[in-house]
Amino acid sequence: MGEPERVGLCHCATCRKNTGGPYLAFAVFEVGRVTIEGALKAHRAPTIDRRFCPQCGTLICLAEEGVDEIDLMLGTFDEPPPFTPQYELWVSHRQDWLGAVPAARQYAGNRDDGAIEG
C-alpha cells in the first residue's frame, strides 16, 4: 500500500450518519493509485458517491464527482493502516466527549474554510 495524499477525520452530521459513528476516518488517494477488486454498490448523492460492499454493506469509499481522488475508509483495511490523521474537519460538530487528535490541524468546517489552529 502506498502513502495516501492525506488522512483526515470528519465530524460533520452527514459523515456521522454515513458511518453510524461519532466521525468518519479516511485516507485520500489519487484515483489512479487505487485498485478495487469486485463490484461495489453505489449510493449516489448530489456530489458524492458512497460505495459499499454488496455482501456486508460496509462503507468502503467516497468519490466526489469531478475530483481525481478517492477517500478510503480507514476502518476497512484488513490491518490497521499506519496512517495518523493529519487534520480534522467540522470540529465545531465534534462530540463533546471526544478530544482532538494530537498535532492534527483543526478546521471548523471544510479545508477550504481555513484551519483554526495548527
**Which residues contact Zn ion (rule: CB under 5 A)?**
10, 12, 15
Q: How far apart are CA 7 and CA 55, in angstroms?
A: 27
Q: Supply 68's cell numbers.
A: 481525481
Q: What is the largest CA-CA distance in the chain?
A: 41
Nearer to Zn ion by Cβ, of 4 and 16: the residue is 16
**Residues facing 71 on adjacent strands:** 28, 62
Nearer to Zn ion by Cβ, of 10 and 25: the residue is 10
Give min distance, CB of 35 to Zn ion, in A. Answer: 25
Selection from 87, 42, 50 nearest residue 70 by Cα: 50
Give min distance, CB of 24 to Zn ion, in A. Answer: 6
Give min distance, CB of 16 to Zn ion, in A. Answer: 8
Nearer to Zn ion by Cβ, of 10 and 59: the residue is 10
